[in-house]
Amino acid sequence: MKKLILYILLFILLMFLWQHFGSTNNHMKMLISSPSFCLDYFEENSRALWQATYTTLYESFLGLIIAVFFAFLLMILCFLFDGLYKFILPIILSSQVIPLITLAPFFIIWLGIGVESKIALVAIISFYPIFLNFSTGYNSIPTTIFELMEIYKAKNKFRILKVYFPLSLQNIFTGLKISATLSVIGAIVAEFTGAKVGIGKNLLLTSIRIEPELMMISIFLSALIGGTLFGVIYGLERILGKWYINDKRIK
């Protein structure tokens, strides 16, 4: 409770300083505006701003879901076929040499300026942390458990659902929480290269129009999206990972 009060006081102090310097210093006003001006701007343009927020959230969420699907599918295939993991892991690792954000123009050319190109880039960026953390969790399973399953000749369905997934769950959620924020970054960067609507487009416009109010509001809205996705995953972890959340470091 004391920490919460401290955070609230710190937030109020920052807002006060922002309001003071943003309204009294012309240089600061041109850079970051002030809370009162931002609120007035938001009221006047709320419909367009919420539409941009919804679009970026849609791109981030759907791209993240697609990344989760293919990461899980690939890991299941690795469980079923011996040697597949050792074959594809170097390929996946070497693919990270390419800064994936630079692929945004490629997806724009391939899929167009709509949300499809943004979703594709988000999925590509979000895939790696999920797959890598899942595989790390799988590789950290003690060898005695694998030997025990061999002794009892456990079926693949039992191994995957009752052993591999549960024992890798903490690592899976670590990857999901990383990808939750990366998905928003991917969507916004993709919107920089071309978009009809979105927070990324708004941020790009701020440098052209010199609208600090739009910039600050867009930053807060992007933080809202990232915080929402992270919060959803954190909530799921609290439900599905009760057996390991007793560790105080995770609370």
Q: Within a 10 A sphere around the Cβ of 209, how many other Cβ atoms?
A: 11
Q: Which regions of the chain are under pLDDT 50?
A: 250-251
Q: Round to whole Å and give the CA distance between 122 and 110.
A: 15
pLDDT value at residue 241 = 87
**Composition of the chain by helix, strand, coil, percent to 5:** 85, 0, 15
- pTM, two decimal places: 0.90
CA distances from residue 128 to 51, 68, 106, 132, 222 in whole angstroms, order as listed: 29, 10, 19, 6, 22
pLDDT value at residue 247 = 61
Q: Which conformational region is residue 146 in: left (phi greater than 0), alpha (psi within -120 to 50 degrees), or beta?
A: alpha
pLDDT value at residue 222 = 96
Q: Round to whole Å and give the CA distance between 88 and 26.
A: 56
Identity (one letter) of the amino acid at 44? E
